[in-house]
């Protein structure tokens, strides 16, 4: 072997670790098929929640990273209707730290656009519940009066089985009643879940029998087993709240001042199992994606053609 060939071989051996790192970084920067599929649904979810009036300019939905359970993906601080693939961020569940733009790995850490202040709602629910894969926070108008009145929601229809049929209704998270070790007197009292301690307090309000927590003066949080499941739960929580409010009003004028009883615990549990199965979730999702695809406002740039 010539001296030149020996030098080239030596240079290659010396550079091999560097080459390996570069190739690995380039491979890692390409989102996997799992992440891309989740992101398609996540963009649709943002648009659907706006179309269905669950969220407005505010509110957010996230998904646990299907390739790394210690991370989650959600948009940076932008109105849900306006999200595209370039607004999605991958976060560490630990302290809700931004890692990178999910579909642009050259934008990392401090260079990532500002995230939602309340991303700690998502991080701490994921931390508390390993089986949760999607989280929604919304300021849904139909729901807010119930927490204001201290009245929990109860499932009033089969499609809202996840709301539950607890005796006192869904749990209510009251920011104003937090202890000073969670919310010090000198902290900002603006109802926002802006740190892990507040996120932990909210996550700890969830109870078995309901997938919904109301937030006094603020809205609600929902935990789900998938993006589609979480959106389904959010929409039908809104619908059920409307029915419950109307039932309370009508019952107040009825003989004996009756109130709407809602579903029994057995009915709510069985209805959740039936209505949140893949088939019915798929039917609802097909309708909702078809509806948002007809609206110029919404752009899912990860889908080349409308859903069927």
pLDDT of residue 4: 39
Please write the tens of the pLDDT for every residue from 141-174: 999 999 999 999 999 999 999 999 999 999 999 9
pLDDT of residue 184: 95
The pairs formed by 245-254 with CB atoms below 8 angstroms and a separation of 24 or more are 245/142, 245/145, 245/146, 247/156
214: its two tokens = 């109301």
- Residue 290: enclosing H or E segment and its boundaries? helix 278-293
pLDDT of residue 15: 41
Number of domains into which the chain is organized: 1
Q: Has residue 23 been placed in a domain?
A: no
- Residue 134: enclosing H or E segment and its boundaries? strand 134-138
pLDDT of residue 5: 45
Q: Is the model more confident about 180 or about 22?
A: 180
Answer positive or negative: Cα dihedral of 26, 29, 34, 37: negative
Q: What does the alpha-carbon distance between residue 125 and residue 256 come to, in Å, rounded to a whole number?
A: 42
Q: Has residue 69 been placed in a domain?
A: yes
Please write the tens of the pLDDT for every residue from 2-54: 543 454 444 444 444 433 343 333 334 689 999 999 999 999 999 999 999 99
Domain CATH number, residue 134: 3.40.225.10
Confidence of residue 254 (pLDDT cuts 50, 70, 90): low
Q: Has residue 266 been placed in a domain?
A: yes
Q: Has residue 142 been placed in a domain?
A: yes
Q: Is the pLDDT of residue 64 over 90?
A: yes
pLDDT of residue 16: 41
Q: What does the alpha-carbon distance between residue 144 and residue 308 come to, in Å, rounded to a whole number?
A: 34
pLDDT of residue 2: 53
Q: What does the alpha-carbon distance between residue 146 and residue 218 come to, in Å, rounded to a whole number?
A: 11
Q: Known catalytic residues?
A: 118
Please write the tens of the pLDDT for every residue from 194-238: 999 999 999 999 999 999 999 999 999 999 999 999 999 999 999
**Structural domain range at position 45:** 33-293
Q: What does the alpha-carbon distance between residue 172 and residue 210 come to, in Å, rounded to a whole number?
A: 11
Q: Is the pLDDT of residue 251 over 50?
A: yes
Q: What does the alpha-carbon distance between residue 127 and residue 19 come to, in Å, rounded to a whole number?
A: 36
Q: Has residue 59 been placed in a domain?
A: yes
Q: Has residue 207 been placed in a domain?
A: yes
Angle at which helices 227-253 and 33-51 pack, to 10 degrees? 20
Q: Is the pLDDT of residue 266 over 90?
A: yes
Q: What does the alpha-carbon distance between residue 277 and residue 228 come to, in Å, rounded to a whole number?
A: 11
pLDDT of residue 261: 79
pLDDT of residue 255: 55
Please write the tens of the pLDDT for every residue from 88-141: 999 999 999 999 999 999 999 999 999 999 999 999 999 999 999 999 999 999
Q: How many residues does the chain have?
A: 308
pTM: 0.88
């Amino acid at each position: 072997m010539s001296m030149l060939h020996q030098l080239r071989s030596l240079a290659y051996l010396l550079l091999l670790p560097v080459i390996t790192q570069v190739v690995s970084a380039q491979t890692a920067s390409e989102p996997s098929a799992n992440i891309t599929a989740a992101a398609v649904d996540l963009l649709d979810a943002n648009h659907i929640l706006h179309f269905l009036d669950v969220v407005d300019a505010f509110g957010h939905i996230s998904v646990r990273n299907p390739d790394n359970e210690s991370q989650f993906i959600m948009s940076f601080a932008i109105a849900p209707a306006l999200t595209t693939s370039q607004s999605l961020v991958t976060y560490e569940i630990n302290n809700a730290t931004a890692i990178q733009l999910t579909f642009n790995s050259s934008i990392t850490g401090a260079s990532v656009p500002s995230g939602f202040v309340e991303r700690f709602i998502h991080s701490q629910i994921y931390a508390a519940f390993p089986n949760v894969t999607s989280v929604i926070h919304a300021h849904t108008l139909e729901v807010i009066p119930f927490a204001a009145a201290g009245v929990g929601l109860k499932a009033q229809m089969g499609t809202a089985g996840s709301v539950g049929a607890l005796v006192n209704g869904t749990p209510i998270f009251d920011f104003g009643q937090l202890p000073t070790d969670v919310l010090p007197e000198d902290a900002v009292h603006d109802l926002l879940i802006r740190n892990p301690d507040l996120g932990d307090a909210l996550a700890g309000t969830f109870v078995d029998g309901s997938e919904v927590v109301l937030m006094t003066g603020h809205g609600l949080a929902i935990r789900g087993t998938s993006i589609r499941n979480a959106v389904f739960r959010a929409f039908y929580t809104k619908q059920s709240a409307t029915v419950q409010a109307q039932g309370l009003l009508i019952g107040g004028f009825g003989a004996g001042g009756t109130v709407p009883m809602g579903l029994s615990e057995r009915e709510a549990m069985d209805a959740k199992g039936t209505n949140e199965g893949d088939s019915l979730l798929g039917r609802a999702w097909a309708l909702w994606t078809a509806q948002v695809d007809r609206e110029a406002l919404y752009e899912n740039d990860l889908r080349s053609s409308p859903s069927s």
